[in-house]
Amino acid sequence: MIFASSAAVYGEPCYLPIDEAHPKQSLSYYALSKTTAEEYIQLFSKQFGLNYSILRFSNVYGPGQNVDGEAGVISIFIDQLLKDMTPTIYGGKQTRDFVYVKDVVSALVKTAQIDSNGIFNISSNTEITIKEVLEALMKNIPTNAPPQYAAPKVGDILKSRLNNKKAMNALQWKPLHSLSEGLTHTVKSYKNKPSAD
């Protein structure tokens, strides 16, 4: 079986880049749900011989991502900029490791094709601040509204970057889309999306 897990299981990193051996510390109910599912899978494997691959995704983004609720920051920023709203940055110095959705799909396909029991980080293995992401988006979506800044959200992780070397070696996979390329495709998809009004 293949389980889609998350970098959230690592919590605040002890070191960067984060490898699969990094200690797990749940800082949210979402992270706890992923950690619990991983442990169930590993226990089931020990007891019944289940073959499994656990893929821990970094911050996935791309066309079709929901802009409501706890959606990814990239889709939220794009939605705000296209509606000529003032984007809000909570903190801004936090770093994230964004991976394009097509690279995630590629990793899932590779995992299904290869006998690869284990846990793998699926990421771009790059680090960028939230502020820099918004600046990159504003080059694709010009706006006269400067961003407004607010205090970082409680429990927000300061830095994140996942080491993807294990996945690259074992799954014969690598991310092919740069952040710049991925943002361009994502912005274009939202611009072409029919209005719900």
Q: Which residues of the chain fall short of a pLDDT of 50?
A: none
Query: Across-strand partners of 3?
Result: 54
> How many other CB atoms are there within 10 angstroms of residue 110's CB atom?
20
Record the pTM.
0.94
CA–centroid distance for 132 within its chain: 16
pLDDT for 195 equals 62
Q: State the pLDDT at residue 69.
A: 65
* Angle in degrees, 0-180, between the axes of helices 130-140 and 179-191, rounded to the nearest 10: 50
* DSSP letter string, 164-187: -HHHHHHS-------HHHHHHHHH
Candidate list 10, 15, 29, 30, residue with the active-site label = 30
The pLDDT assigned to 127 comes to: 97
Contact 190, 139 (CB under 8 A): no
30 classed as catalytic: yes
- The reported pLDDT for the residue numbered 67 is 87
The per-residue pLDDT for 62 is: 97
**pLDDT at site 110:** 96
pLDDT given at position 193: 80
Domain residues of the chain, as ranges?
A: 2-191
Query: For residue range 7-41, what is the model confidence (pLDDT) as tens digits?
Result: 999 999 999 999 999 999 999 999 999 999 999 99
Q: Tell me the residue ranges of DSSP E strands in the chain.
A: 2-6, 53-57, 59-61, 88-90, 95-96, 98-100, 118-122, 128-129, 148-150
Eight-state DSSP code of residue 12: S
* CATH superfamily label, 2-191: NAD(P)-binding Rossmann-like Domain (3.40.50.720)
145-157 pLDDT per residue, tens:
889 999 988 778 9
